[in-house]
Amino acid sequence: PIVPRIASSSSSAPPPPSPLRPDSTPVRAMLAAQQSLSVNLEHKKYVNLGLWDLKRQGPLDLVKYWTTQGTPFSYLNALAMDVLPAQASSVSSERVFSSSKLTCTRARNKISTSTVEALQILKYALRHRQPSAAPTETLDESEIDSTCTLDLMVRLSGYEWGHDAILEVETAP
Distance CA 124, CA 130 (A): 11
Angle 169-159-103 from CA coordinates, rounded to 5°? 55
Distance CA 17, CA 28 (A): 18
Its sign, for the CA torsion 106, 111, 114, 117, is: negative
Continuous segment of H or E residues that includes residue 94: helix 91-103
Does the pTM exceed 0.75? no
- Per-residue confidence in pLDDT tens, the chain, 173 aa: 454 444 444 455 555 555 555 555 788 888 888 889 988 998 898 888 887 777 777 777 777 877 776 668 888 888 887 877 766 666 777 777 888 888 888 888 888 888 888 888 888 888 877 555 555 555 555 555 544 455 555 555 544 444 445 545 555 55
